[in-house]
Structure 1
Amino acid sequence: MQADLILRGATVVTMATDETGAGAPLAIAILDGRIAAVVPEGEAQRWIGDATRVVDVSGKTIVPGFIDSHVHFTQTGLGSLGPQVYDVTRRAQVLETVAAAHAMMADGEPMLVHGLAIADLDAPITMADLDRIAPRRAVMIGDVGAHGCIVSSAAWAMLELGALDGIGRDAQGRPDGVLTAKANTWARYQYYNRAISDARRAQALQRASQMAAEVGITTVHALEGGSPDGRGWLPERDVAVLLAEQATLPVRTVVYFQSTDVQKALDWQLPRIGGCIWVDGAYGEFTAALLEPYCNCAGCTGSLYFSDDELYAFVDRAHRAGLQISMHAIGDAAIEQLLNAYERALTETPRADHRHRIEHFSLPTEAHIARAARLGVAVGMQPNFAMVPDPLPQPDDEPAGLVAYLGYERYQRRHPYRRIVDAGVLVAGGSDADPMPMGPLIGMQRLAAHPEAARRLSAREALALYTVNGARIAFEEHLKGSIEPGKYADLVVLADNPLLADPSTLASIAVEQTIVNGRVVHARGADH
């Protein structure tokens, strides 16, 4: 039998065994988009025919294609197409960026600005500022955490917010363009529905796909759509466009519909529902739900966005329908509430191998970890968030950063990858792009080189999060996640072996090629 493509001369880390790739180079034969064989170099010749393309990748390392289990895919693409103000804290610089974009855009074209941390601005930005520098332009500047936005008067005119909570007002009581809480949720939902065309969405998906391929990602778990009920703000149209465009994208997508509308998921013939449906919020806004109060907000314990009965009703409907469920829970109170709902549904309607998910799982207790393992609940975590403060906080330090919110003891409980993996919980790695950057090698380095043992994994364990575990959490382990005959030829060619390299250098390993279905969709230094 003749292969379509032979990759030869490389170190191969299959993730099907415990090998490190330290042995002799191997050859991979690819036929009809699938892996036909992984053989010693000397056996490659029998797969080579007149039409076989042979590529020498000597000195490189091939690993399974990376799987990013948590991407807001349409939004990532949209963010890359418009003005970006990530890490910008100066009001003047933000306004300069908006003014420059306004000058380049056609009349009447709405503007969407990504990446601003509104709370970090040195001075406020208002509707009047946007109207002055971009007159008659609909402009929305979205907060990087998605919990706020700033709109121009032309954008305001597109919105129907009534008297919702969260509408900022000036000294005369007029809307000042700054929106939070429910006003932010509904404003984003309406703006994305009315100002962003489906053609723009399709363009964004192509751009996000190429961004993924550039960092070695071959499968994206796309968390799309939602509902403007305070638990999400992305429009359902995102899902419809993605489903229509799926076959044209250079990377594979696994669609998670971020809604509680079980029937709609079934109508779309999706085997899963949810994604990043908010059970709670985030630390910075004091909305991550905690069992004990925040240390810097007297009496504040965050927000649970569902009552116990509401959450269980949704989980029960989806579970009985045979769907996999995925929801966002950061704080320990939210994790407990979601585990309660999962356990009750599983008790009343037992189902083996359900693989229901908790996204983030940021602050679990030891009991939560043990319970997730017992129930078979999987977790989608984002190692990009496992950042290393310099210097590491100490018990007697003046509280700063996240320590100021949680206190030292709870801070030490955050992101306990080591304990979660050791407990046997299935963990998949993701990025939470946008706002975080896609980049599995970044996440691998954060884990493998982490100075705190509670957050440190071996390089192999870290790689598993983005390969075999990423496949398994989506019920796709028979198709991808390891390099074995019969599986998709989804591969990454790296400049170095991530299992043998210095863990502190993993993020700098170059992605030489990304291959999906046996086709090169990214090659360093070339356009595809």
Structure 2
Amino acid sequence: MSTDLVLFNARLLDPGTGTLLPHTALAAGAGLITALGDDRDVRALAGPATTVIDLKGAVVTVGFTDGHLHPVSGAERTMGVDLSGCRDLDDVRAALAGAARDLKPGAWLRGWGLDPNTFGDRPVGAAALAPVLDGIPALLDLFDGHSLLASFRALELAGVDGPRQFEQASEIVCDAEGRPTGLLLEDAACAVVEDLAPKPTEAQVRARTAEVLRAMASTGLTGGHAMDANGDSLAILAELDAQDALSLRLRVAPWCQPGADEAAVAELVRLQGRSGRLWQVAGVKMFMDGTVDNGTAWLERPDCHGESTHAFWPDPEQYSWVVRELHRAGVPTATHAIGDAAVRHALDSIEKAQTESALAPGSVGSPSPVRHRIEHIETVPDDTVARFARLGVTASMQPTHCCEYTRADHTDNWSRRLGDERAGRAFRCRDLWDAGVRVVLGSDWPIAPYPPLAVMAGARHRRPADLSLPPHGPEQVLAPLQALQGITVNPVWVAGEEHVGGRLAVGYRADLTVLADNPLTVHDTDLAALPVLLTVVAGRPTHRAPEL
């Protein structure tokens, strides 16, 4: 086997144990680690075509994998004006006014990352932005990815003049007089206006996706669990892979929506295993509820506005049936469940599926090999925490959502809706870990920024990126090694790929992240700024800092 890459003068960090290996050099070929040893012996394996890099004492570890992101749909949604840095309505208005000045007459304005906290005590609605969007059709993604704010002109063009009924838990929010406010909650309501707006071409989305993936690689990401496969996304990934332009290894879980029948489930099963060199379809993504900020989460008690009382599936038992059918087919599920009732029902459904499978004729009674997971888990009581470990369900969590969008003093929109008791059990990363649960970390990009060091830092200090506020739930911080494992070893395990990834060992994937220093010894508040010097996917550098 030829040697494609040699890295020497390195410190090799094992994320399984947190210790440095005795070796100082690594070789890769055909996408795998082929040798570990001292500089002299490993450098001797290099041939004329080998890329040889002196790491000058940098730290090599298993490549970072984002446990939950949306690379293709996110690439498309972030082609508009970025509102994620806006802190109040004046900021939002200024950003939109600047974008509006460059619009051609009749053109639509798109924005993303709008935080409901920028509205302060005012309800989220188009009226607050009307002065800068007068006569302009505009659609603004709220940061949670589950809602849109449509301008009055956009509502007019779409013929939206009052409430409507939907088959799933969606809503065109209206005022007391029945007039739409512009706020659209969940997919079905959003589609009423969004389907009217101009769409970028597949070529434009493909180019933007490649750009996003390159930027992700520059932050040390070698892989991601992509939680959608909508529209042309699989075709886009296949084309990028064919062009050798896929900078991350992606595991894709297509959506299953309410109303799925036997044919729809059979199609999801058929899609499993569809793949290219660096991507594959593996698993199914489902939604048990919406979001706390929108009042569309599913809580065991209503929120402080009397909302968040229903599941996203009108018939939650149909969701349970889908989980059972997928489990029987050996297909893992990843369920968006934010509220305590949603998480409980997802766990109930997985437990029923496991029990029925174990009792089925021919079953040997061994533990289920299907590794199900639940996404987000923003507020749950103690008894629910304990069930994750017993059922072997992975907790996929995004600590930066807590850091950036909630506050320790509970003055943010999320906390005010939940009230102090439920807001006090926010994002229980440490409790789940200590209960023996596999915790996978991710960003949910474009909901929150994707740099993995920032995700790890958030898990370790529970404060916003600018460190301007005290930690929200400091008792839930992860230790440095736990945070590292949450973005290296654990994403590999939940994918069932621990026999090919997650270790710096001969025969394992050469997916590597190289850092200027040891992330386990860098202070929590300095971690996000730690330089990423090199990113390697399947033995090929996808990012290389100038100093190397």
| Deviation larger for 474-483 or 93-102 | 93-102
**Corresponding residue SS for 1:435:** coil
Equivalent pair of 1:14/1:484 in contact (CA under 8 Å) = no
Shift of 1:498: 0.4
Are 1:386 and 1:455, in contact at CA under 8 Å, matched by a contact in 2?
no
Q: Quick one: structure 1 residues 249 and 158, their matched pair in 2 at CA, closer, same or farther if it must change by over 3 Å?
A: farther
Per the normalisation by structure 1, the TM-score is 0.85
Deviation of 1:175 after TM superposition, in Å, equals 5.7
2:44 matched to 1:49? no
Distance 1:161 1:504 in 2: 49
- Cα RMSD (Å): 3.3
Q: Which amino acid is 2:68 matched to?
A: H
| 2:191 corresponds to | 186
How far residue 62 of structure 1 moved from its aligned partner, in angstroms, is 1.0
SS of the aligned residue for 2:126 comes to coil
Paired residue for 1:258? 255
Match of 2:284 among 262, 268, 274: 274
Q: In the superposition, relative to structure 1, how do residues 310 and 288 fare at CA in structure 2: closer, same or farther (>3 Å)?
A: same
Equivalent pair of 2:406/2:413 in contact (CA under 8 Å): no
Q: Does residue 379 in structure 1 map to residue 400 in structure 2?
A: no
Q: Could you tell me which of 62, 66, 69 is aligned with 1:68?
A: 66
2:435 is matched with 423
Give 1:495's aligned amino acid. A
Same amino acid, percent of matched pairs: 29
Q: Following the alignment from structure 1 to structure 2, what is the Cα–Cα distance between the partners of residues 419 and 94? A: 37
Contact residue 283 and residue 333 of structure 2 kept, 8 A: yes
Give the Å deviation of 1:243.
4.5
> Do 1:365 and 1:413's aligned partners in 2 also have CA atoms closer than 8 Å?
yes
The secondary structure found in structure 1 opposite 2:206 is: helix
1:325 aligns with one of 307, 325, 333: 333
Task: Name 1:349's counterpart in structure 2.
Answer: 357
Distance 1:390 1:315, change over 3 A: closer
5+ residue gaps, structure 2, are 166-170, 258-263, 274-280, 359-366, 463-470
Correspondences of 1:405-444 after superposition (within 5 Å): 405-444=417-456
Q: In the TM superposition, what is the alpha-carbon distance from 1:35 to its structure 2 partner? A: 0.9
Whether the 8 Å contact between 2:289 and 2:336 is mirrored in structure 1 is: yes
Q: Distance in 1 between matches of 2:406 and 2:249?
A: 37
CA–CA distance in 2 between the matches of 1:403 and 1:171? Answer: 25
SS at match of 2:44: helix
Q: Distance in 1 between matches of 2:217 and 2:163?
A: 44
Q: Quick check: 1:353–1:376 contact (8 Å CA) kept in 2? A: no
Give 3-state SS (helix, strand or coil) of 1:310's partner.
helix
Query: 1:158/1:285 Cα in 2 relative to 1: closer, same or farther (>3 Å)?
Result: closer
Q: 1:200 to 1:159 in 2, by over 3 A?
A: farther
Following the alignment from structure 2 to structure 1, what is the Cα–Cα distance between the partners of residues 483 and 340?
Answer: 24
Q: 1:176 to 1:370 in 2, by over 3 A?
A: closer
Deviations 1:437-464 (A, max 9, x none): 0022112122234565641222111111
Deviation of 1:300 (Å) = 4.3
* Counterpart-to-counterpart distance in 1, 2:347 and 2:247: 36
Change in Cα spacing, 1:184 to 1:388, as seen in structure 2 (3 Å) is closer
Distance in 2 (alpha carbons) for counterparts of 1:412 and 1:147: 25
Match for residue 218 of structure 1 among 212, 216, 222: 222
Q: Offset of 1:274 from its aligned partner?
A: 3.1
- State the Cα distance separating 1:358 from its structure 2 match: 0.5
1:518 is matched by which residue type in structure 2? G
In structure 2, do the counterparts of structure 1 residues 224 and 40 end up closer, same or farther at CA, with 3 Å as the change threshold? same
Q: 1: distance between equivalents of 2:158 and 2:267?
A: 27
1:172–1:357 Cα change, 3 Å: closer
Deviates more, 1:109-118 or 1:438-447: 109-118
- Given that 1:202 and 1:241 are in contact with CA atoms closer than 8 Å, whether structure 2 keeps it comes out as yes
Relative to structure 1, the CA distance from residue 462 to residue 162 in structure 2 (aligned partners, 3 Å threshold; closer, same or farther) is same
Cα distance in 2, alignment partners of residues 50 and 112 from structure 1: 50
Deviations 1:383-429 (A, max 9, x none): 22342999954xxxx87665433344433322222221222222211
1:236 pairs with 2:231:
yes
Residues 1:47 and 1:302: Cα distance change in structure 2 (over 3 Å) = same
Greater mean alpha carbon deviation, residues 196-205 or residues 458-467: 196-205
- Which residue identity lines up with residue 278 of structure 1 in the other structure? F
Q: Which amino acid aligns with 1:443?
A: V
1:340 and 2:356 correspond: no
Of residues 325-334 and 370-379 in structure 1, the stretch that sits farther from structure 2 once superposed is 370-379
Asked whether 1:369 is paired with 2:385, we answer: yes
SS of corresponding position for 1:413: coil
Count of paired positions: 505
Aligned to 2:203: 199
Matched, 1:303 2:302: no
**Structure 1: 5+ residue runs without aligned partners?**
226-234
Q: Given that residues 68 and 220 in structure 1 are in contact (C-alpha distance below 8 angstroms), is that contact kept between their aligned partners in structure 2?
A: yes
CA contact (8 A) 1:71 1:222 kept: yes
CA contact (8 A) 2:147 2:183 kept: no
When structure 1 is superposed on structure 2, of 146-155 and 341-350 the one drifting more is 146-155
* TM-superposed deviation, 1:304: 1.4
SS at the partner of 1:287? coil
Q: Deviations for 1:459-487, whole angstroms, at most 9, x for unmatched residues?
A: 11111111111111112223322222122
Which of 354-363 and 120-129 deviates more? 120-129
1:289 aligns with 2:298: yes
Find out whether 1:208 has 2:212 as its counterpart: yes
